[in-house]
């Protein structure tokens, strides 16, 4: 079986600085795959390479069996990727409902659009704020709205760049539940995450990055038990 | 499709609005019965320019591309019509070919220029000054074409004095073709403008319009929602520029002349002033505001053209400094506010519905 | 042979100095503030008119030219405070405001001064190389364009203002935290940009007939040089002017002025298709 997303020996250098080098990553269908690693490990750069914001300096990226290494971002999205970016990037000057509408209109027949909007608004607990401008929402609500826009595309692979950044623990737990529910509905998820409690809550597979390279890969239990992973996070050599 | 006449991209959506709009249209239709043909022709002259203002509203207001090239495409449309109408002669068939040929040429020019700019990732202030450079260069070029070697067939370009003597548009009609002048031209303009306005409203609130607004707000986010952003920008640019071509053809046909001065400065600034003053994000505001400014400008021009232009320049600066969203949009929002407050509970969920 | 070669150099120098002198002021303001000054042509016109007026009042030409430059710079600083300051971080809006200003200035001058103004004869006479005649003043203009580039280099690299200006350009917030007053730097930058526009006008005043709309004959060249050059005067404007001058000189020589200008624009859109950040972006990337 081939993986849904296959990143093979991908590198990216900026000027002389190598942000990501020879990274391998494969995401199987049905996984909730978390990408972890200390700051500066290259996680966000890797995400931008996967979604096509950056072009890699080497290596290849395959998605659903197709080589997308050189494809434009919109083409990858049309193939079934969808991303929630790190900083909430919703259309701040447009109403919440229109934000969802713009994402939904891709795959939804015009007569079902309104029902789908309502359903998503309810799912995101934003029904009461539908007419507000997205910029007036709280930080947490904007994060959720952007997740809503990402899932409105009905992606095969949902990419989440730090979905819980700036959320309260309550909101974080809700987000985790939402992600698990989407996954149960057949959506594969790849998330960059710092919060290890959150990773334990949702992940079925974990890849660790360090200094621009793939460092380890396994289940949550394996990674947590791996002494060398603790070492790179704590920055001290593991004794024994 | 009719339900798309109302939506988040257009102000004015209640029954009161549409009744007012119908009254304005009715008044425009009966106007020639009460006015002499010269005034009717002059009224028509104002309507000619509104096409290019609406085109700029689509590009700039909806899609965020500030093009200073409306008079570039106006000029291409106008000169192309002039050349075609001189070569092909008069009569409905010839002049209608001239009309469509000229607008198509303006659209083609927009596609080529737009391709290089948009795919060259020119945006923001550079989009403006590149389009303006082309506009001024065209005006300069046409000013140098006084000699007899600058002719296409029988059509002389005539340098600064401009082209003249092309046949005006005419249409087939019961009992023989009608040349579009004065009242006949006026009715065609009213019909054409009404149709353009309504179609653009539908377009603005359609799937396409939603994408344009998304591109205006955040092109990168729009691309990550799966939209081929640059293709949408190019389509909007070609559409808006072709509407400037329409204005050019109508202007040339109306007066049977066109000169380079309707392309260069200060002409190139006028569409920007109309649309900025009116409120670039709204088609209705642009329609109303452009008309008002044209009337005001002509009135001032009777005393002194220079003074009229000084006023226009000051108006542009004042708009940007004090009412950046535009005067007419601002007034429209003031008018809508008390009503909305009163009806708020019933209307609010509906208001934001695309 | 010698005459031919020199003639090519002379034409190149003529176009190069025109591009550098007309673009330098625009490029400084754009590079510093991200603002495209649409009234650039009118600052040039101001330089021309003040030079001509003071010259006719009896000042020697170089002094009259200094007056033209200074008056444009002062007006620029005042207008920065009044019109541009409320619009920091709104580059499109400041562009539109300056366009309004440009209309007011052109048409206002037409009303107040009228459509013609007595000109100044070109000084300096001519010289001959290999049987061809050339104008001395054009060579003065070429020297002036090199001096302007040197002035900009010294200003940014060797003065306290330059240090502050580069700090604001890199990171306005950080510079302010370190005690650099952004508004002061911007007012001075705009003044210097307007002054360089005035200087351009002052220098070309003896070569042109004076009409209030004459600014328009400079701005296309100024715009395209800045578009191709990008945001840095030294890394952008100078190489862009050199490249465009080669294109323009070649086309002028073989096909005439009209093709020269059209060819210039075609070269511009081809270059931006290949180098989206202009010469300065490209050079900066190669350096890093």
Residue C208 falls in which region: left (phi positive, over 0), alpha (psi -120 to 50) or beta: beta
**Planar angle of CA A64, A68, A71, nearest 5 degrees:** 135
Average confidence (pLDDT) over C197-218: 94
| Residues of the domain holding A80 | 5-90+156-234
Angle between helices C216-229 and B125-143 (to 10 degrees): 140
Q: Do B128 and C272 touch (CB under 8 A)?
A: no
Measured CB to CB, residues of chain A less than 8 Å from chain C are 15-16
| Closest alpha carbon to A81 in A71, A73, A69 | A73
b/e burial code for range C32-47 (CB count within 10 A of at least 16 → b): bbbbbbbbbbbbbbbb
Cβ-nearest to B310 among C95, C107, C216: C107
pLDDT at B350: 39
Query: In this structure, is residue A34 part of a structural domain?
Result: yes
Give the per-residue pLDDT at B339: 54
pLDDT digits (tens, 9 = 90+) for B108-133: 999 999 999 999 888 888 899 999 99
**B-contacting residues in A 91-120 (Cβ below 8 Å):** 91-98, 101-103, 105-106, 114
Give the predicted TM-score (pTM) of the model: 0.92
Residues 48-77, chain A: which have Cβ within 8 Å of B?
51, 53, 72-75, 77
Q: Which residues in chain B are contacts of C40 at CB distance < 8 A?
A: none
Nearest to B120 among C99, C108, C272 (CB): C272
pLDDT at A221 over 60: yes
Report yes or no: C288 at the A interface, CB cutoff 8 Å. Answer: yes
Subunits with 3+ Cβ pairs within 8 Å of B are A, C
Answer whether A153 sits within 8 Å of B225, measured CB to CB: yes
| Residues sharing a CB contact under 8 Å with residue B61, sequence separation 6 or more, in sequence order | B275, B279, B280, B281, B282, B283, B286
Give C173 or B54, the one with higher predicted confidence: B54
- Pull the structure tokens for residue A207: 């890849």
Q: Is residue A45 part of a domain?
A: yes
The DSSP secondary-structure symbol of A163 reads: T
Decide if pLDDT at B344 tops 70: no
Residue A50 inside a domain? The answer is: yes
Assigned domain for A123 exists:
no
Q: How many other CB atoms are there within 10 angstroms of residue C288's CB atom?
A: 9
Q: How many domains does chain A have?
A: 1
Residues of C in contact with B65 (CB under 8 A): none
Q: Cα(B251)–Cα(B240) distance, rounded to whole angstroms?
A: 17
* Residues 6+ away with beta carbon under 8 Å from C198: C25, C43, C44, C46, C47, C50, C68, C69, C70, C71, C72, C73, C76
Nearest-CA distance A17 → chain B (Å): 25
* Those residues with Cβ within 8 angstroms of residue B142's Cβ, 6 or more apart along the chain or in another chain: B75, B79, B157, B159, B162, B260, B263
Alpha-carbon radius of gyration of chain A: 18
Interchain pair A95, B349: CB under 8 A: no
C83 pLDDT exceeds 70?
A: yes
Identify whether A191 is part of a domain: yes
What pLDDT is recorded for position C276?
72
For residue C288, name the pLDDT band (cuts at 50, 70, 90): low
* A81 assigned to some structural domain: yes
How many Cβ contacts (< 8 angstroms) between chains A and C? 3
Taking only the tens place, the pLDDT of each residue in A66-112 is 999 999 999 999 999 999 988 878 999 999 999 999 999 988 888 88
Q: How many CB atoms lie within 10 A of CB B10?
A: 21
User: Cα separations (Å) of B91 from B3, B94, B99, B176, B300?
Assistant: 39, 6, 12, 10, 37
Q: Is residue A143 part of a domain?
A: no
Predicted local confidence at residue B352, as pLDDT: 40
**Residue C182, min C-alpha distance to chain B (Å):** 20
Taking only the tens place, the pLDDT of each residue in A114-136 is 899 999 999 888 999 999 999 99
Nearest CA in chain B to A100: B354
Render the burial of B65-95: b for 16+ CB within 10 Å, e for the rest. bbbbbbbbbbbbbbbbbbbbbbebebebebb
Identify the weakest region by mean pLDDT among A124-128, B65-69, C192-196.
Answer: A124-128
Where do the H-state alpha helices sit in B218-228? Answer: 219-224
A214 forms beta bridges with A209
Please report residues of B whose CB lies closer than 8 A to that of A91.
213-214, 217-218, 221
Looking at the domain assignment, is residue A205 inside a domain? yes
Cβ atoms of residues B67 and B242 within 8 Å: no
* Contacts with A16 from chain C: Cβ below 8 Å: 288
**Higher-scoring residue by pLDDT: C53, C34:** C53
> Is residue B345 less than 8 Å (CB to CB) from chain A?
no
**Partners of residue A206 on adjacent β-strands:** A34, A218
- C267: nearest CA in chain B? B116
Band of residue C244 on the pLDDT scale cut at 50, 70, 90: very high
- pLDDT value of position A148: 93
| DSSP symbols for A111-141 | HHHHHHHHHHHHHTT-GGGTTSBGGGS-HHH
What would the pLDDT profile of B272-327 be if each residue is shown by its tens digit? 999 999 999 999 999 999 999 999 999 999 999 999 999 999 999 999 999 999 99
For the CA atoms of chain B, what is the radius of gyration?
20
Q: Which residues of C have a CB under 8 Å from any CB of B? A: 30, 34-36, 83, 86-87, 90-93, 95-97, 99-104, 106-108, 110-111, 213, 216, 219-220, 223-224, 226-227, 257-258, 261-262, 265, 268-270, 272-273, 276
Tell me what the mean pLDDT of segment B235-262 comes to.
97
Q: Does A80 touch chain B (CB under 8 A)?
A: no
Q: What is the mean pLDDT of residues C159-178?
A: 84
Q: What angle do CA C71, C74, C76 make, to 5 degrees?
A: 110
- In angstroms, what separates the C-alpha of C83 from chain A's closest C-alpha? 26
CATH of the domain at A16: 3.40.50.300
Residue C179 burial by Cβ neighbours in a 10 Å radius (0-12, 13-18, 19+): exposed
In a 10 Å sphere around its CB, with 0-12 CB exposed, 13-18 middle and 19+ buried, how is residue C192 labelled?
Answer: buried
Cβ neighbour number for residue C168 with a 10 Å cutoff: 23
Closest residue in A to C284 (Cα) is A15
| Residue of chain B minimizing CA distance to C221 | B133
Closest to C229 measured CA to CA, from C272, C279, C268: C279
CA-CA distances (angstroms) from residue A148 to A137, A155, A189, C208, C247? 14, 12, 14, 63, 53
CA distance B297 to B295: 5
């Amino acid at each position: 079986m081939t993986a849904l997303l296959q990143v093979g020996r991908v590198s990216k250098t900026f000027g002389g600085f190598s942000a990501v080098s020879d990274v391998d990553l494969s995401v199987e269908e049905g996984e909730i795959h978390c990408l972890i690693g200390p700051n500066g490990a290259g996680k966000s750069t890797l995400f931008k390479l996967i979604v096509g914001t950056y072009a890699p300096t080497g290596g290849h990226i395959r998605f659903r069996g197709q080589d997308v290494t050189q494809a434009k971002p919109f083409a990858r999205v049309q193939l079934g990727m969808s991303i929630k970016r790190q900083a909430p990037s919703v259309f701040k000057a447009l109403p919440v409902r229109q934000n969802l509408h713009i994402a939904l209109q891709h795959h939804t027949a015009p007569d079902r659009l309104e029902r789908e909007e309502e359903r998503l608004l309810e799912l995101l607990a934003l029904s009461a704020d539908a007419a507000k401008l997205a910029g007036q929402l709280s930080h947490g609500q904007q994060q959720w709205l952007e997740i809503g826009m990402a899932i409105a595309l009905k992606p095969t692979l949902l990419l989440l760049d730090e979905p819980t950044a700036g959320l309260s623990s309550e909101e974080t737990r809700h987000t985790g539940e939402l992600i698990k529910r989407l996954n149960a509905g057949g959506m594969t998820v790849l998330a960059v995450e710092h919060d290890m409690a959150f990773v334990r809550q949702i992940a079925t597979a974990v890849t660790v990055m360090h200094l621009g390279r793939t460092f380890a890969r396994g289940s949550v239990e394996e990674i947590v038990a791996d002494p060398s992973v603790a070492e790179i996070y704590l920055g001290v050599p593991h004794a024994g | 499709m009719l339900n798309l006449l109302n939506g988040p991209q257009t102000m004015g959506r209640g029954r009161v609005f549409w009744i007012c709009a119908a009254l304005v249209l009715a008044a425009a239709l009966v106007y020639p019965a009460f006015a002499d043909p010269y005034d009717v022709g002059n009224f028509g002259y104002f309507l000619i320019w509104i096409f290019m203002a609406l085109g700029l509203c689509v590009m700039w207001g909806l899609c965020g591309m500030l093009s200073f090239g409306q008079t570039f495409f106006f000029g291409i449309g106008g000169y192309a019509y002039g050349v075609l109408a001189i070569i092909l002669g008069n009569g409905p068939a010839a002049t209608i070919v001239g009309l469509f040929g000229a607008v198509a040429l303006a659209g083609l020019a927009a596609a080529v220029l737009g391709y290089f700019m948009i795919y060259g990732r020119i945006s923001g202030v550079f989009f403006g000054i590149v389009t303006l450079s082309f506009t001024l260069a065209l005006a300069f070029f046409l000013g140098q074409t006084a000699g007899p070697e600058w002719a296409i067939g029988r059509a002389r370009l005539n340098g600064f004095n401009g082209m003249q003597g092309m046949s005006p548009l005419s249409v087939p009609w019961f009992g023989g073709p009608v040349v579009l002048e004065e009242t006949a031209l006026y009715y065609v303009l009213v019909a054409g403008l009404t149709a353009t306005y309504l179609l653009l409203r539908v377009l603005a609130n359609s799937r396409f319009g939603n994408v344009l607004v998304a591109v205006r707000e955040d092109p990168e986010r729009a691309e990550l929602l799966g939209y081929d952003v640059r293709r949408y920008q190019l389509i909007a640019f070609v559409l808006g520029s072709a509407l400037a071509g329409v204005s050019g053809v109508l202007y040339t046909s109306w007066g049977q002349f066109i000169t380079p001065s309707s392309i260069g400065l200060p002409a190139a600034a006028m569409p920007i002033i109309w649309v900025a003053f009116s409120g670039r994000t709204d088609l209705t505001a642009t329609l109303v505001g452009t008309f008002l400014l044209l009337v005001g400008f002509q009135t001032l021009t009777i005393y002194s053209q220079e003074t009229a232009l000084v006023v226009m320049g000051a108006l542009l600066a004042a708009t940007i400094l004090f009412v950046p969203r535009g005067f007419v949009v601002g007034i429209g929002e003031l008018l809508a506010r008390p009503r909305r407050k009163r009806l708020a509970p019933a209307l609010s969920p509906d208001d934001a519905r695309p | 042979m010698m005459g031919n070669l020199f003639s090519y150099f002379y034409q190149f120098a003529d176009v190069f100095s025109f591009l550098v002198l007309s673009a330098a002021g625009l490029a400084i303001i754009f590079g510093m503030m991200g603002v495209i000054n649409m009234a650039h042509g009118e600052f040039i016109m101001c330089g021309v008119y003040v030079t001509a007026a003071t010259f006719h009042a009896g000042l020697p030409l170089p002094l009259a030219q200094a007056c033209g430059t200074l008056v444009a710079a002062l007006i620029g600083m005042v207008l920065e405070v009044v019109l541009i300051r409320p619009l920091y971080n709104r580059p499109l809006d400041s562009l539109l405001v300056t366009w309004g200003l440009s209309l007011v200035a052109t048409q206002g001058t037409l009303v107040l001064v009228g459509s013609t103004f007595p000109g100044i004869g070109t000084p300096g006479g001519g010289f001959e190389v290999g049987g061809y005649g050339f104008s001395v003043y054009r060579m003065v203009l070429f020297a002036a364009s090199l001096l302007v580039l040197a002035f900009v280099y010294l200003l940014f690299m060797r003065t306290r203002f330059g240090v502050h200006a580069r700090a604001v350009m890199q990171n306005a917030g950080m510079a302010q935290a370190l005690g650099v007053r952004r508004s002061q730097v911007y007012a001075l930058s705009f003044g210097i940009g307007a002054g360089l526009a005035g200087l351009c006008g002052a220098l070309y005043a003896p070569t042109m007939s004076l009409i209030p709309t004459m600014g328009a004959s400079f701005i296309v060249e100024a715009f395209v040089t800045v578009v191709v050059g990008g945001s840095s005067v030294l890394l952008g404007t100078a190489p862009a002017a050199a490249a465009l001058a080669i294109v323009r000189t070649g086309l002028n020589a073989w096909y005439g002025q009209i093709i020269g200008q059209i060819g210039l624009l075609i070269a511009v859109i081809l270059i931006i298709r290949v180098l989206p950040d202009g010469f300065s972006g490209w050079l900066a990337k190669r350096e890093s």
